[in-house]
Structure 1
Amino acid sequence: MESGYVTTPFGRRPMTLGMLASQKLTRDIDPAKSVDKWKIYRALCEAKPLLGVTDRALAVLNALLSFYPKNDLCEDNGLVVFPSNAQLSLRSHGMAEQTIRRHLAALVEAGLLIRKDSPNGKRYARRGREGEVSDAFGFSLAPLLSRAEEFEHLAATVVAERLHIQQLRERISLCRRDIAKLIETAVAEQLGGDWQGIYLGFRSLIEDLPRFPTTAALENLLEELVILRDDIVIQLEMQLKTQKQSGNPYQNERHIQNSNPESYSDLEPSFETKQGATTVDKPDLTTVPMVGKPEVSVDGRQSGRRKAAERDAGANADARGDLKSFPLGLVLQACPQIIDYGPGGAIGSWRDLLSAGVVVRTMLNVSPSAYQDACLAMGPENAATVMACILERGGHINSAGGYLRDLTRRTEKEQFAIGPMLMSLVRANAPTGQRTG
């Protein structure tokens, strides 16, 4: 029985309390106990992160186990192996002897081996007359037998942790996909909300994750992503509810513009006076026609078409306080500064104006809730138009967010019209010689 006494290392190698504790554990091994050496080796490979040993050290241990004559480790078969460093190098795929000695020391320090050194430090065995090993000096595998249950438990813990991390990564991937596609849908449908800010916050969460995250870091990230996804879903559901209550105003507005090309918005050529063209007297702010107050008709045909268009516009504008959209060309003529904030420094469609409105909102420190409320009350196109007007008059407005909220409240009470604001800016931006008196 090799583990029945205390043994100290040969030469200058010091004796430690850890070595003494490992040797003490081997004294209480049940003589009938046995374990499969390769099964316990697989458990050690799984539990490697918790044991603090490297794969190279385990390769050396694998070579040592190959010198054990039986598959089952038990005290009856002896627990000491005594190969030379040269033999270990051959079975370790040519590993250098100096490297082998370093990894053997690491295995001893980790409590996986016990040195049983001979008086001269050599590894050998004494045999009896019948060839049986009576005494051996080398490395004792007794710790593998005595701590077999501990190693298996550590291996199960590592496997469970690995599966947990895998599940966390899968759920994080699903949340990332959901959030990205929901934001993409909201932008494509031109829904109101600070989707650019939400996307930037989403990317910051992902980029703050370290390259090799811990389980706690993954759990925190998943929790934040789930909260963000739920918030986005709530915003989209609110948009669906608003559209349902307003009779889908976005489709109705596009229908008015497409099916009635000679509606009121297109019958005002003076609104889009080009630079260098002959100017005509522009209507006063108070003469901007509102729903239900048509201008004097030019002829019978135009009057009939205008009245029909105004009836359709009145039926579709109830949810927005009779607030109508103006041509994109008029908006850009009144607010030329907004063009610099469009995609690529240009605005060619309402979608480009909506994107520019979000950028300007962020620049002017308007809160996402204030802009979202404006989109719900005025419509996304009108809210972006108002943001362009606020940008144009930035030097005369102390708080852009407070001003926008005031306009939103006035819109809900049907006390605000965008026409006067636009026409005032058109006249202000017109060349001096072309301004009407």
Structure 2
Amino acid sequence: MEYTPVTPFRRTIDAAILKHQAATQEDLPPAGANKWEVLRELAAARVAFGLSDRDLTVLQALVSFHQATILGGNDSELIVHPSNKAICERLNGMPCSTMRRHLSNLVQTGFVVRRDSPNGKRYARRYGDEKVAFGFDLSPLVRRFQEVCEAAETVRAAEERYKRLRATVSLMRRDLAGLAEYGRSLRPDQGVWDQFSDLAALMARDLRRKLEMEDLRRIEDALGSALDHARGLLDGCETENMSTNDAVSEQHYQNSNKDSYDLEPRLEKARDGGAVRETPEVANSPLCSEDEGNSTATIDDQLMPNIPLGLVLASCQEFKAYSEQPVRHWHDLVRVADVVRPMMGISPSAWDEAKRYMGPEEASVVIVAMLERFADIRSPGGYLRTLSSKAAIGEFSCGPMIMALMRRDAA
């Protein structure tokens, strides 16, 4: 047909329809587009184009009247001409008025273009080798396929960011509730723990609703500030406890408890090269013989664990079955680790290496944490050596292991 009409039959025309009609004069992409892929991408990006799921249902019915899977390409005949009755039948009996309303939205958004005949009927006729069809033009689906794909990727990326932020906020809320409960048992005189518990409960209630991205960011900021405050209070409590222990140790130099690492001579460690150097005071100390000094140099104190002992005891429960006495100090935990270690199949050399690079206290935390997940660890000795090698170059901390156990218990 030499002339292409732009006005619909007995319907008003506006700027949007004229714009979409003009776009159909452009050449189709030579590769065409898979009609089912177009529908799938458009379903993901439908909100960005102002379409509803019912609009897409009507569009799917229209597309199904085109026999080929690929729209465009070698086939330039993209006009389908079903009657209203045929369309409603493929829509499982949708009322004709409802179908027309959704069809009108598809025309307004430019994904379907009307090609109305002089009398408004939809049909196709052949005049020799030329075919003339009046109905619905599906060519915009091919021309706008790239635009639809880009919009769908943008929507999927936004949904992924939303899911990740919501998961992060949920974990932060759970951690705040756990730290508040632990802090209440450690320092019941601090009223701030009740505030943290109330905040966690309020955030749990908010997370039951469908929140906007800005709401989640606001909750993340509030929980982040509360968590920093809670961690600061807990670190301060542990520092105060450790200072008290040190003061007691200074007044009891003659204590005969040889298992206490607080009473043994201190060594100064040199990280570079992994060597350990004794200070002159240790070398000349009457408390340490030559053999004892050499053995102690490999296992004595390094940096204390960066988490409170109470947090370790609250997260790890399995070791208590092997402890005859309650664990109240770090050296008590070291004694328990010495007992549990051979039962786990960890060799003395691996244990000595862990104490040398981590320090006895942190190595003991690793042992009791491994005991919690013992069924999941194939080779405890090899796993401990791997962690020791990371500790040797300053790339290991036992804090994440304990926090992971706390999250598991709270789940």
Which band: TM-score by shorter chain? Answer: 0.5 to 0.7
Cα deviation for residue 200 of structure 1 reads 2.4
Partner in structure 2 of residue 45 of structure 1: 43
Partner in structure 1 of residue 120 of structure 2: 121
Task: State yes or no: 1:175 paired with 2:172.
Answer: yes
Partner in structure 2 of residue 92 of structure 1: 91
Contact 1:209 1:217 in 2 (8 A): no
Paired residue type of 2:81: F
Cα deviation for residue 224 of structure 1 reads 2.1
The one of 119, 133, 136 aligned to 1:136: 133
Contact 1:70 1:77 in 2 (8 A): no
1:179-198 equivalence runs, <5 A: 179-193=176-190, 194-198=192-196
Contact 2:174 2:200 in 1 (8 A): no
Measured in 2, the distance between the counterparts of 1:197 and 1:217 equals: 20
Measured in 2, the distance between the counterparts of 1:248 and 1:92 equals: 80
Paired residue type of 1:136: A
Deviation sequence 1:227-249 (CA, Å, 0-9, x none): 22122111111111112222399
Measured in 2, the distance between the counterparts of 1:59 and 1:242 equals: 67
SS at match of 1:219: helix
The one of 159, 163, 182 aligned to 1:162: 159
Distance change in 2, residues 1:63/1:119 (3 Å):
same
Cα deviation for residue 65 of structure 1 reads 0.5
Measured in 2, the distance between the counterparts of 1:171 and 1:31 equals: 43
Deviation sequence 1:185-243 (CA, Å, 0-9, x none): 11233444221123223444555669322122212222221222122111111111112
Measured in 1, the distance between the counterparts of 2:151 and 2:105 equals: 19
Distance change in 2, residues 1:214/1:248 (3 Å):
farther
SS at match of 2:26: coil
State TM-score, norm by structure 2: 0.56
How high is the sequence identity, in percent, across the aligned residues?
A: 35
Cα deviation for residue 174 of structure 1 reads 0.8
SS at match of 2:51: coil
Distance change in 2, residues 1:110/1:55 (3 Å):
same
Paired residue type of 1:90: E
Between Structure 1 and Structure 2, how many residues are aligned? Answer: 245
SS at match of 1:195: helix
- Greater radius of gyration (CA): 1
Deviation sequence 1:138-157 (CA, Å, 0-9, x none): 11111111111100001101
Paired residue type of 2:179: L
Measured in 2, the distance between the counterparts of 1:83 and 1:133 equals: 20
Contact 2:71 2:78 in 1 (8 A): yes
Task: State yes or no: 1:104 paired with 2:119.
Answer: no
Distance change in 2, residues 1:61/1:30 (3 Å):
closer
The one of 67, 71, 82 aligned to 1:69: 67
CA RMSD of aligned residues (A): 2.4
Cα deviation for residue 133 of structure 1 reads 6.5
Paired residue type of 2:24: T
Measured in 2, the distance between the counterparts of 1:244 and 1:46 equals: 57
Measured in 2, the distance between the counterparts of 1:160 and 1:31 equals: 27
SS at match of 1:77: coil
Measured in 1, the distance between the counterparts of 2:180 and 2:93 equals: 57
Partner in structure 1 of residue 392 of structure 2: none
Contact 1:118 1:137 in 2 (8 A): yes
Cα deviation for residue 51 of structure 1 reads 1.4
1:17-416 equivalence runs, <5 A: 17-30=15-28, 32-74=30-72, 76-129=75-128, 134-193=131-190, 194-207=192-205, 211-247=209-245
Measured in 2, the distance between the counterparts of 1:90 and 1:204 equals: 50
Contact 2:29 2:142 in 1 (8 A): no
Measured in 2, the distance between the counterparts of 1:224 and 1:24 equals: 52
Structure 2 residues not aligned, in runs of 5+: 248-411
Measured in 2, the distance between the counterparts of 1:201 and 1:5 equals: 65
Distance change in 2, residues 1:133/1:236 (3 Å):
farther
Contact 1:175 1:225 in 2 (8 A): yes
